[in-house]
Homo-oligomer: A and B are copies of this chain.
Amino acid sequence: MKIGFIGTGVMGNAICLNLLKAGHDLVVYNRTKSKTDNLVAQGATWCESPKKVAENAELIFTMVGFPADVENVYFGEEGIFQAAVKDKYLVDMTTSKPALAQRIFREGEQQGAKVLDAPVSGGDLGAKNGTLTIMVGGDEAAYQDLEPVFKDFGKIVHYFGAAGAGQNTKMANQIMIAGTMTGMCEMLVYAKKAGLALESVLETVGAGSAANWSLSNYGPRILKDDYTPGFFSKHFLKDLRIALETAKEMKLELPATKEAEKLYETLVDERGLGDLGTQGLIKLWWN
């Protein structure tokens, strides 16, 4: 299938390589053109706008930064909806607002396009190894059509329901991670202040009913002062904001997630450390 890909950052680029490897024709666009160079060298074709990508592909993936970028890529002057998209597949993989996913779906429906929201989890390694988890919402028939393509770069692919359901599942995922990240950081901070040997604490706490992925993966990195991003703090803060905004629209209070948002806000906005990985949260205590 002729595939268009808009947004070839760390994640998008790795997915594109898997799509090329699977034998798809690829047209690509990225705001910073140089980030498509490696893909063009491997046979992809550069297009100068999202609109041009949409004109030259049957299936268009988008994976950009913030909801405002998503909006621009779809609804902007040079956006996807300026092309003739009838019968085409439009799939947004950015982690973005459920309400925006619904708006794109409705506009697509009017123009005869088949729209999905399909955010992913699994990070840069998952993208590279083709083992992402893909959470899909939107047009169910379109999901059935595209499942084989999703499998070219994802391991667990699941359809969750109408437009926005993929985004909402991703939000649920991030709310869970807010708990493991704040819990892990406060746990380490307490243990250090109490003078405990942190390696032993990680081992013991990680062996029982407190066990979790953040602890086993980020705990040891923190002890090595390694704050390189598996996932940027600034992106995690964006996700928490979307989750809490959406929760508010649903008249739902999530006090612990709200507290996590405040902590990441301090880290990113006040301390300017948004380029650290999410485990950088511990710097609020340890400097």
Contact = CB atoms under 8 A, between A and B. Distances in A.
Copies of this chain present in the complex amount to 2
A260 B252 contact: no
Give the contact-size bracket for chain A.
35 or more
Interface string A194-212: 1111001101110111111
A250 B194 contact: yes
A96 interface: no
Contacts of A161: 195-197
Contacts of A182: 179, 255-256
A179 B185 CA distance: 10
Nearest to A135: B204
B176 A212 contact: yes
A191 interface: yes
Contact of A200 (B160, B180, B184): B160
Contacts of A10: none
Contacts of A201: 160, 169, 172
Interface in A245-280: 246-247, 250, 252, 254-260, 262-263
B211 A213 contact: yes
A121 to B, nearest CB: 5
A116 to B, nearest CB: 16
B168 A205 contact: no
Interface of A: 98, 121-123, 126, 133, 135, 156, 158, 160-161, 164-165, 168-169, 171-184, 186-191, 193-197, 200-201, 203-205, 207-215, 217, 230-231, 243, 246-247, 250, 252, 254-260, 262-263, 285
The 6 A-B residue pairs with the shortest CB-CB distance, nearest first, are A179-B183, A212-B212, A182-B256, A168-B194, A176-B210, A172-B191
